A and B are shown apart, each in its own frame.
Chain A
Amino acid sequence: MADHLPILQVILPLIAAPLCLLVRHALACWLIATLVSWLCLAIAVLLLHQVLDGGTIRYQLGNWVAPWGIEYVVDRLNGFILVIVAAIGAVVAPYALRSIDSELPERQIGLFYVMYLLCLAGLLGITITGDAFNVFVFLEISSLSSYALISMGRHRKALHAAYQYLVMGTIGATFFLIGVGLLYMMTGTLNMADLADQLKPLAGSRIVLAAFGFIVVGMGLKLAVFPLHLWLPNAYAHAPSTVSVFLAGTATKVSLYVVLRFIFTVFGFEFSFVNQPLGPALLVLAIAGIVVCSLVAIYQDNVKRLLAWSSVAQIGYMLLGLSFATAIGLQAGLLHMFNHAIIKAGLFLAMGCVFLRLGSCRIEAIAGVGRQMPWTMMGFLLCGLSLIGVPPTAGFVSKWYLVLAALEKGWWPVAALIVLTSLLAVVYVWKVVEVAWFRDPPGTAGRIGEAPLAMLVPLWIMVGANLWFGLETSGNVDVARAAATALMGAVQ
């Protein structure tokens, strides 16, 4: 059994999805989805544990030996990502019960869980597979299901947002496929480890260079790298609350993982950072993204949109860590990926609670909600502090390492910029907090109660995680460091 954990990680949600389609009963589907999400988390934790103890796991699908067969590979990096994705799933699933119930028509609820499970399977599959084409397959599974999930939003604009994402996402996936195709053409293999070997002598080839460009730009679209981010704010803002939480915590993280996997493992550090100016290019995009999107976030009048813009800015921080092309920078980027997942999930969870009670996330609608929903908004405040990077929250730790990484390179202006842009986060977080706590509710509002426990508990698990990983960081910092040194070490 323990030997088959890698395949179980993906196959469980993949099989549960059609099962839900057959059942169609809302509560039963929810039970299946929750159970599967929790099992996935258990498997992911076990896998990470095995990897940390015994090194990289290689699993041959159907005993077809790689590079002919498809191979699942779990090392420290994707073991870490698997845990992030599965953990967000495990927290979101119980939350969905009440939230989805109030936001979707009865007949769609069963379908929602089908899509959710498919999306989870897709994201886990992208992460775990060691096969370049298999990444594309799972990418399509997760993308198609997330288009459907976003379009379930209550407002008509959700359809538009989903369509926009579909167009952009398809372009991204196509680029990625073209890149993989070019690589296959040059090497005749799709296995990542094998690709890495075969590409070494081909470093000067223009076709490989083109493949590199297609793959990085294609995944950059999915990852919402500034300026390829335009789909993201609409998608996050108009999707059902649960979907916003899930995507904010997982989708972009997995895309970033694919980028890392390709530039470090497949193409190699030498090719990406020494032969190509990837570092400076990422640095410029990251800084532009951080500054521009933080500023845009300040002027949003819908909290979910505000958070979405902030997400694009935060992706900039992750890329910034990557652009340093040092072990500590990469570690900071990975750490921020983990921390941002729990921060943004927490914030969107809080907004889901507010949406449940108020039916809106517009700034003016949430006036005075802090007094009526103290637990929800206190959770929002704490996660907001983490987003700013106030100690002792998780957000502080990753920003600390980012600044250290910048200082290690001697890039003082960049270090200063990281600190200064945190002030922009202060402005947009405080904008929400001030309205929610210190403004009187609009006269028309009736008395509303606190969100139900089924939603508060997931929220406070995330809040607790933000505080826990702000103080007791040995676990995630060590894993991030191990993953970063493994990536860097494999090439140096």
Chain B
Amino acid sequence: MNAGLLVALAVLVPLAGAGLIALSGRWPNLRETITVFTAVLLFIVNILLAVLVLDGETPALHVAEPVEGVPFAFAIEPLGMLFGLVASFLWIVNSVYSIGYMRGNKEGHQTRFYVCFAVALASTMGLAFSANLFTLFVFYEALTLSTYPLVTHAGTEKAVRAGRVYLGILISTSIVFLLTAILIVWQQTGTLTFAPGGILQGRVSDALGLILLVLFMYGIGKAALMPIHPWLPAAMVAPTPVSALLHAVAVVKAGVFTVVKVIVYVFGLDYLQNLGGSEWLLYVSGATIIVASVIALQADNLKRRLAYSTVSQLSYVIMAAALFTPMAVAGAVLHIAAHAFGKITLFFAAGSIYTAAHKTEVSQLDGIGRRMPWTMAAFGIGALSMIGLPLTAGFVSKWYFLSGALDTRSVVTICVIFASTLLNAGYFLPIVYRAFFRPAPEGGPHDDHGEAPFPIVLALTVTAAGTIILFLMPQLPLALARAVVGG
């Protein structure tokens, strides 16, 4: 099939799906069938594209040219392909999960929920496949706007307030910093198109390069670098499938994906290696990893703990990329995939516990593993992947990250990795311990529950299995990651 058409389909399939979902709102079964069908179709499109990309091709599509020299265009390179594959695959699983969750909790406005979800995925695809900063920016904003109704889904005062934080931080950082950075790049280089090796080399002064790095890193609010992370914990008021797919995979990964993309294809690794002062990113991301982990350690609310864990894990990707070596960047790319599978499993488990037992706090989970063995087993696997132990995907990415750190002899990085591994263990293992080894409290209000509904259990089993499979067979993501850094 024509490559350009496939690229167009990657954005149009979820959009068309959104239209059909809106029309079929009156018939829930049909609506959910369309959602799952759209997700499967999108994944197939991504696989077909991946075949082309692995062959060394760059599927591309030029749509229009609103401003001279700045086309609205797509071009798929390995990094975007990996992101597209992960997001579209997890959308299928998440759709199945959503059915169980939304029905199990009798949530309102379900049609709006599924429509916005599909639009968010369309934005994610557009972002992953964009050929230049301009196109990326368009979809970056579209992703923010389409996920806002999902964050405020409950419609309560608390949800609306959280929505304002979400929108306020993401939109203002993107317009004030990211757009400015894009404009400066355009002004200085006359191009916005991503190119291997970057486009800034020899075109901007060192001082301006450093300013641009700051503007980009803080303009990409979705990467949740401290102190612009509060939108992520705020977004946890959303229904769990939203937190799972969007705030563990699509939105936050869009953030770190953009970070890696900018570092590799706008700045270029060589340029950044020789740019004095660019180490600040290493320190800031390292600090984010540690501080977020400490906050997670103290959080009793399970989703809040997961959210801060995400903030910390996102900075893993940024820190790995900030080493500016091919090996570490490969680790960053792999971590995008690895963390996606692990964290979505954890969120699925949290939602499963909420649906079956209506429990939201860590301290309520004593003995729950006996009633919900599948859920808590999957949670355990996700936790191991976060810590980065072998047999889980987290190990693979951490391996590359650590190798990169050793190559560059970056003591700070190595210390941060070890400290954060301990902290991760410190806030995840007690949950597993409570669930399986502590006795359930006597006569609690909701202790007559069993496992969550079948779609939920199915979904979290699949992602937990995926976490292990990625460890056993990391060839595909590895191939794409190597292609990103040209190794």
A residues sitting closer than 8 Å to B (CB atoms) are 390-392, 396-397, 400-401, 403-404, 407, 415-416, 419-420, 422-423, 426, 430, 434, 437-438, 440, 470-474, 477
Check: B475 CB closer than 8 A to any chain A CB: no
Given contacts A396-B66, A438-B152, A471-B72, whether A391 and B176 have CB atoms under 8 Å apart is no
Q: Which listed segment binds A: B179-187, B299-307, B355-363? A: B179-187
Pair A470/B155 contact, Cβ less than 8 Å: no
Check: B271 CB closer than 8 A to any chain A CB: no
Pair A473/B63 contact, Cβ less than 8 Å: no
**6 smallest A-B Cβ distances: which pairs?**
A471-B64, A391-B138, A473-B66, A407-B187, A400-B67, A471-B66
Main secondary structure of the interface of B (DSSP, over half): helix
Pair A430/B64 contact, Cβ less than 8 Å: no
The complex places the Cα of A423 from the Cα of B167 at a distance, in Å, of: 12
Closest to A396 in B: B66
Check: B474 CB closer than 8 A to any chain A CB: no
Pair B179/A419 contact, Cβ less than 8 Å: yes
Q: Which of A415, A470, A471, A474 contacts B183 (CB 8 A)?
A: A415
Q: Which residues of A contact B187 (CB under 8 A)?
A: 404, 407
The complex places the Cα of A214 from the Cα of B180 at a distance, in Å, of: 39
Q: Which residues of A contact B70 (CB under 8 A)?
A: 400
Q: Which residues of B contact A397 (CB under 8 A)?
A: 66-67
Q: Which residues of B contact A420 (CB under 8 A)?
A: 176
**Nearest chain B CB to A483 CB, angstrom units:** 17
Check: B6 CB closer than 8 A to any chain A CB: no
Closest to B68 in A: A477
Q: Which residues of A contact B186 (CB under 8 A)?
A: 404
Q: Which residues of A contact B176 (CB under 8 A)?
A: 419-420, 423
Pair A473/B180 contact, Cβ less than 8 Å: no
Closest to A388 in B: B175
Q: Which residues of A contact B180 (CB under 8 A)?
A: 416, 419
The complex places the Cα of A438 from the Cα of B171 at a distance, in Å, of: 18
Pair A422/B175 contact, Cβ less than 8 Å: yes
1/0 per residue, CB under 8 A from A, across B51-85: the answer is: 00000000000011111101010000000000000
The complex places the Cα of A470 from the Cα of B67 at a distance, in Å, of: 9
1/0 per residue, CB under 8 A from A, across B164-198: the answer is: 00010001100110011001001100000000000
Closest to A394 in B: B66
Pair B149/A437 contact, Cβ less than 8 Å: yes
Closest to B142 in A: A390
Check: B160 CB closer than 8 A to any chain A CB: yes
Q: Which residues of B contact A437 (CB under 8 A)?
A: 149
Check: B134 CB closer than 8 A to any chain A CB: yes
The complex places the Cα of A404 from the Cα of B138 at a distance, in Å, of: 18
Closest to A468 in B: B64
The complex places the Cα of A403 from the Cα of B141 at a distance, in Å, of: 19
The complex places the Cα of A314 from the Cα of B322 at a distance, in Å, of: 41
Q: Which residues of B contact A422 (CB under 8 A)?
A: 175
Check: B137 CB closer than 8 A to any chain A CB: yes
Pair B72/A403 contact, Cβ less than 8 Å: no
Pair B175/A426 contact, Cβ less than 8 Å: yes
**Nearest chain A CB to B132 CB, angstrom units:** 12
Pair A391/B183 contact, Cβ less than 8 Å: no
A-B contact pairs, 13 of them (CB 8 A): A391-B138, A391-B141, A397-B67, A400-B67, A400-B70, A401-B67, A419-B179, A420-B176, A422-B175, A423-B171, A423-B172, A437-B149, A473-B66
Q: Which residues of B contact A392 (CB under 8 A)?
A: 64, 66, 72, 138
The complex places the Cα of A437 from the Cα of B146 at a distance, in Å, of: 13
The complex places the Cα of A416 from the Cα of B149 at a distance, in Å, of: 30
Q: Which of B64, B149, B179 contacts A438 (CB 8 A)?
A: B149
Q: Which of A416, A426, A434 contacts B171 (CB 8 A)?
A: A426
**Nearest chain B CB to A482 CB, angstrom units:** 14
Pair A390/B141 contact, Cβ less than 8 Å: yes
Q: Which residues of B contact A430 (CB under 8 A)?
A: 167
Closest to A407 in B: B187
Closest to B138 in A: A391
Closest to A473 in B: B66
**Nearest chain B CB to A151 CB, angstrom units:** 40
The complex places the Cα of A390 from the Cα of B167 at a distance, in Å, of: 14
**Nearest chain A CB to B115 CB, angstrom units:** 11
Pair B160/A438 contact, Cβ less than 8 Å: yes
Pair B64/A391 contact, Cβ less than 8 Å: no
**Nearest chain A CB to B23 CB, angstrom units:** 12
Q: Which residues of B contact A391 (CB under 8 A)?
A: 66, 72, 134, 137-138, 141
The complex places the Cα of A407 from the Cα of B186 at a distance, in Å, of: 11
Q: Which residues of B contact A390 (CB under 8 A)?
A: 138, 141
**Nearest chain A CB to B130 CB, angstrom units:** 11
1/0 per residue, CB under 8 A from A, across B132-154: the answer is: 00100110010000000100100
Q: Which residues of A contact B66 (CB under 8 A)?
A: 391-392, 396-397, 470-473
Q: Which residues of A contact B183 (CB under 8 A)?
A: 403-404, 407, 415, 419
Interface residues of B in 24-76 (CB under 8 A from A): 63-68, 70, 72
The complex places the Cα of A390 from the Cα of B63 at a distance, in Å, of: 17
Q: Which residues of B contact A474 (CB under 8 A)?
A: 65
Q: Which residues of B contact A470 (CB under 8 A)?
A: 66
Q: Which residues of B contact A415 (CB under 8 A)?
A: 183
Told that A419-B180, A473-B67, A477-B67 touch, could you supply 11 new A-B pairs with CB distance under 8 A? A391-B66, A391-B134, A392-B64, A407-B187, A420-B176, A426-B175, A434-B160, A438-B152, A471-B63, A471-B66, A473-B65
Q: Which residues of A contact B64 (CB under 8 A)?
A: 392, 471-472
Q: Which residues of B contact A440 (CB under 8 A)?
A: 155
Q: Which residues of B contact A471 (CB under 8 A)?
A: 63-64, 66, 72
Q: Which residues of A contact B65 (CB under 8 A)?
A: 473-474
Q: Which residues of A contact B134 (CB under 8 A)?
A: 391
Closest to A403 in B: B183
The complex places the Cα of A420 from the Cα of B66 at a distance, in Å, of: 22
The complex places the Cα of A401 from the Cα of B67 at a distance, in Å, of: 8
- Which residue, of B64, B134, B141, has the highest number of chain A Cβ atoms within 10 A? B64
**Nearest chain A CB to B173 CB, angstrom units:** 11
The complex places the Cα of A420 from the Cα of B174 at a distance, in Å, of: 11
Q: Which residues of A contact B138 (CB under 8 A)?
A: 390-392
Q: Which of A423, A434, A472, A473 contacts B175 (CB 8 A)?
A: A423
